[in-house]
Amino acid sequence: MTDSKLNLLDLDRKGMEAHVADLGYKPFQGRNLFKWIHKHGADSFDGMTDLAKKLRHQLEETAVIKPPEIVFEQPSLDGTTKWILELEDGQRIETVYIPEEGRGTLCVSSQVGCALDCSFCSTAQQGFNRNLSTAEIIGQVWIAAAELDEDQPLTNVVMMGMGEPLANFDAVVAAMDIMQDDLAYKLSKYRVTLSTSGIVPALKKLGEVSNASLAVSLHAPDNSLRDELVPINRKYPLEMLIPACKAFIEGDRRRKITWEYVMLHDVNDSDRHAKALIRLLEGVPSKINLIPFNPFPGSHYRSSSPERVEAFRMRLKRAGLIATTRKTRGDDIDAACGQLVGKVKDKSKRQLRNMRQGAGR
Ligand code: SAH
């Protein structure tokens, strides 16, 4: 709600139809409205000529189309663009556009901060404040579509920005539905990817309501190391996570799970780890994405050398796995993986705790 007006970016297609029906109009007017907003990027009602005049008037009185506000648009030397967006309560999130040969990927945030505390991620250090609304999530796509030039296609969305998308289930699912809607951004199920640290019950539920693609932040091939790097593993260990992931893609032979694996020097990057990873993923249709660690102030990890990353990758390849190394993009503007921090009014007191620990060192 904005000034007690309804923000129409909060509604998926069905919601829009229902809302328009509530106002006394046929569902197709809702579809038209939905199309104006997401296909044509409208943020006011006057140009919506195929909508009943009275409906337009009613909407003007009761509704808004209000994405987050752009505070800053920051281009990187490699073509990556980062937007810093301010929400109604003054908090800030980040969205990143990453152009590649023939495609363009938008990295979208799902929460203000993150509650999960992965030890190598700078978003974690910011602590957590709240979930984003559907409007604030799809608003990031709306903004990118409006700001990008014709030679900057928006072909993929990854829910890999700030936050744990499965901890904000309903809003994320609604936003991903809009991304895939033919009347909106029309992205296929293979081009909308949710990345999770592995909240197993939510993952099972996701399989029932969404057909988006799945990426999982694995980062370790065994429980003891993963407990340390991705603490949610203590609650949902690998013997729960791996079968849930397998079940997620069952029935679609084109599908694979993308496993994200951040390469940390002398932590998870040895031949022993590669072997354990090969064993762990046996029989799971997989793509492994090795991510060079992006350092940030206060982190005590170091990135594996490029040679180590390549040796690790080759080992996986020789075992028949598909393994790629994610190119670090946008690191000159702190837009790379794990560098997104926004401005979070921390409710978890983690910032304070970290500061105290830092002072005691
Ligand atoms: N919470 C979700 C979505 C975030 S995705 C998840 O965990 O999957 C962001 C990706 O970047 C994750 O795979 C995360 O583990 C990785 N990442 C976090 N910090 C990083 C860093 N400093 N360097 C490289 N990758 C990092």
Q: Which domains does the chain carry?
A: 6-64 (1.10.150.530), 69-352 (3.20.20.70)
Q: What is the pTM of this model?
A: 0.94
- HSE-up of 261 (CA within 13 Å, CB side)? 31
3-class secondary structure, 133: coil
> Which residue in the list 107, 118, 121, 337 is annotated as catalytic?
337
Catalytic residue among 94, 136, 164, 260: 94
CA torsion 226→227→228→232, rounded to 10°? 100
| pLDDT for the residue 332 | 82
Neighbours of 297 (CB within 10 A): 7
Q: How far is CA 256 from CA 110, 140, 289, 322, 358, in A?
A: 23, 27, 12, 10, 41
Q: What percent of the chain has pLDDT over 70?
A: 96
**Tens of pLDDT along 120-165?**
998 888 899 999 999 999 999 999 999 999 999 999 999 999 999 9
The Cα 111–Cα 164 span in angstroms is 7
**Beta strand pairing status for 6-7 and 63-64?**
parallel
Q: Is the pLDDT of residue 355 over 60?
A: no
Q: Is the CB–ligand 1 distance for residue 164 below 6 Å? A: yes
Tens of pLDDT along 179-201?
Answer: 999 999 999 999 999 999 999 99
Name the pLDDT band for 360 (thresholds 50, 70, 90).
Answer: very low
Confidence of residue 356 (pLDDT cuts 50, 70, 90): low
| 116 CA closest ligand 1 atom index | 1
Give pLDDT, residue 328. 82
